[in-house]
Amino acid sequence: MRVTPLEITLSPAVREGFAAAVRESLGLVFPPSRALALDRGIATVAALLGEPDRAVLLSRLLDGDPAVREALIVELTVGETYLFRDASHFDFVRDVALPEAARRGGPVRLWSAGCATGEEAWSLAITAHEALGAAAAERVEVLGTDLNPRFLERARRGWYGPWSFRGVDPARRDRWFRAESNGWSVVPEVRPGVRFGPLNLLDDVSTAWPRGVDVIFCRNVAIYFDLDTVGRLAASFARSLLVGGWLVPGPSDPLLPPGLGLNASLGGPLVYRRVTGMEVDADPRRELPFAPAPAPLAPARRSSVPPLRSPAVVAAHRASPVVREPVERARELADAGDLAGATRLLDEALVLDGLNPALYLLRSTVRQATGDAPGACHDAEKAVVIDRSLAFAHVLLAAGRVRLADLTSARRALRNARALLLSAPTDQPVPHAGAQGRDALLAICDRLGRSLGEAVPAKRRG
């Protein structure tokens, strides 16, 4: 349903109320950089429910109206995913996590938390069948959970079009899927061990919360949460994992805080292992609920949803030059040689506006200059997840991966950077790249390519 710009715009007070209520009830965070996405979702829900008054719609949400809550879940959640996305994660499951889990005995339990339309959960199931063979049908249990009921319907169907198979070997696709209606459907042998159900990841007291899990995938979900929420979520995942179990985050998700009994492993992709340093459930193998019922939503009093910030703090935040011009001010500091000051300013700005790719890209550049290649890659990957069309993000990621000698990832990032730059207009600036234009960035790509042993043409056509 289309809505016009005039229908989309919310008053600051109503937007702030919705942002606080959505954070409290759904765990979704909308910083200033995502205000338009929040406004658009609310406008669509208002049109769907025939409620033109946004203040009344907010009151219905605060009073626990299930129709408003479900409609907002559908409109505000993002389901961009595809099969075997970030292949190194599935290689890790195949080579490390699954053999360990199989040796422990009992069922092998894999959980895709925030599964969207199910590609990740089915990829885990297929990986298990490839690794364990016939034993997978008897021992492997895969659970996919998400807030969005429409996503879950698609996940249960297990049918996907060509876009979900980008990067998948056709032989692998034909082994585990059957052609059906201009797409492909998961083969019957994989389906019995896979279940999908609704779950709010911030509902950490629900009886639906899984326990006794060997591997949890929660990728590109935490980037939408604030740091306190990330800590709560990580603690809940730690309780769900068996000792020795693994948590696999997305490459651009924030690092987890210490003290949760989750140790980072850096030998391959960044993953976390549950260690014995924290209390373990008395019965860690109790039944994993494959079709968890959502916890009943008790009618909420309006006072139970605190504002994200007081009106005075919000007003001061909006008036602050740190928020108005953080990129410009940080760039001035960096150009003057004050890299530490630029980093502090960017850190502060990202706390308030954690989904602004420009902030991540400048901090990535500063970290490159200080020799912090892992940090530079982390920030560049964050920017890529937020907006994959940013050519400069792929250039920075390629440069960081070269420094880390991760040549496969560097070549992939370089291919993406070149493709985006070559399709960009020659007479327009490259977003967030400062004074560096398209040709200058292509020259950087050529230098990176030569460092990777590639033959680069001496002259390009503009």
| Mean pLDDT computed over 394-419 | 89
Same-domain status, 147 and 238: yes
Q: How far apart are CA 438 and CA 415, in angstroms?
A: 15
- Same domain flag for 95 and 42: no
* Residue 302 located in a structural domain: no
In this structure, the answer to whether residues 69 and 93 fall within a common structural domain is no
In a domain, 369, yes or no: yes
Identify the CA nearest to 292 among candidates 119, 131, 111. 111
Could you say which of 76, 97, 115 is where a domain stops? 76
- Binned at pLDDT 50, 70 and 90, residue 205 comes out as low
Higher pLDDT, 62 or 195: 195
Q: In this predicted model, which residue has the larger pLDDT, 306 or 216?
A: 216
Q: What is the CATH number of the domain that holds 132?
A: 3.40.50.150
Please state the domain count of the chain.
3
Name the phi and psi angles at 160, rounded to 5. Answer: -140, 145
pLDDT of 309 reads 31
- Residue 42 and residue 342: Cα distance in Å, rounded? 36
pLDDT confidence tier of residue 350, bands split at 50, 70 and 90: confident
Asked if residue 452 has pLDDT above 60, the reply is yes
Please tell me the predicted confidence (pLDDT) of residue 102. Answer: 92
Q: Residue 461 domain-assigned?
A: no
Query: Same structural domain for residues 11 and 117?
Result: no
Closest to 237 measured CA to CA, from 348, 112, 88? 112
Query: Is there a single domain that holds both residue 50 and residue 108?
Result: no
Domain that holds residue 203: 87-274
In this prediction, residue 320 carries a pLDDT of 40
**Does 43 map to a domain?**
yes
440: domain CATH number is: 1.25.40.10
Whether 91 and 72 map to the same domain: the answer is no
Most confident stretch, 116-120, 232-236, 425-429: 116-120
Residue where one domain finishes, among candidates 76, 105, 127: 76
Structure tokens at 363: 């901090």
Contact (Cβ atoms closer than 8 angstroms) between residue 3 and residue 47: yes
Task: Please state, in angstroms and rounded to a whole number, the distance separating the CA atoms of residues 214 and 241.
Answer: 6
- Residue ending a domain, among 239, 274, 309, is 274
- Give residue-wise pLDDT tens across range 59-117: 888 888 888 887 887 777 666 688 999 899 999 999 999 999 999 888 999 999 999 89
Give the C-alpha separation, 349 to 352, whole Å.
Answer: 5
Tell me if 154 sits within 8 A of 117, measured CB to CB: yes
Same domain flag for 149 and 245: yes
Q: Are residues 136 and 264 in the same domain?
A: yes
- Compute the average pLDDT of residues 138-159: 92
Encoded amino acid at 156, one letter: R
Mean pLDDT of 328-350: 83
Which phi and psi angles does 322 have, rounded to 5°?
-65, -35
Q: What is the DSSP string of 429-449?
A: PPTT-TT--HHHHHHHHHHHH
Predicted confidence band of residue 154 (pLDDT cuts 50, 70, 90): very high
Same-domain check for residues 128 and 69:
no
Pairing of strands 262-265, 271-274: antiparallel
**For 259-274, how does the pLDDT look when each residue is reduced to its tens digit (9 = 90+)?**
888 888 867 788 999 9
Q: In terms of C-beta density within 10 A (0-12 exposed, 13-18 middle, 19 or more buried), how is residue 323 classed?
A: middle
Q: Is residue 134 part of a domain?
A: yes
Over residues 222-241, the mean pLDDT reads 84
Give 163: exposed, middle or buried? Use CB within 10 Å, 0-12, 13-18, 19+.
exposed
In a domain, 279, yes or no: no
Q: What is the pLDDT of residues 158-191, one digit of tens each?
A: 999 998 998 899 999 999 999 998 899 999 999 9
User: Do residues 417 and 391 touch, judged by C-beta distance below 8 A?
Assistant: yes
Q: Give CA–CA dist 100/245, Å, rounded.
A: 9
More confident residue, 312 or 365: 365
Report pLDDT for 282. 33
Q: What is the mean pLDDT of residues 12-36?
A: 79
Note whether 325 and 362 are same-domain residues.
Answer: yes
**pLDDT beyond 70 at 206:** no
Compute the distance between CA of residue 44 and CA of residue 193 in angstroms, rounded to an integer.
Answer: 37
Domain presence at residue 294:
no
Taking the C-alpha atoms of residue 42 and residue 37, their distance in angstroms, rounded to an integer, is 9
What residue spans of 161-289 are helical by DSSP H? 170-176, 227-240
The encoded tokens of residue 130 equal 């490839």
Q: For residue 56, is it within any domain?
A: yes
Helix (H, G, I), strand (E, B) or coil at 8: helix
pTM of the model: 0.58
Residues 40 and 165 in one domain: no
Ranges 69-83, 143-157, 304-318, 350-364, most confident:
143-157
Question: Looking at the structure, do residues 104 and 50 belong to the same domain, yes or no?
Answer: no
Distance CA 362, CA 334 (A): 9
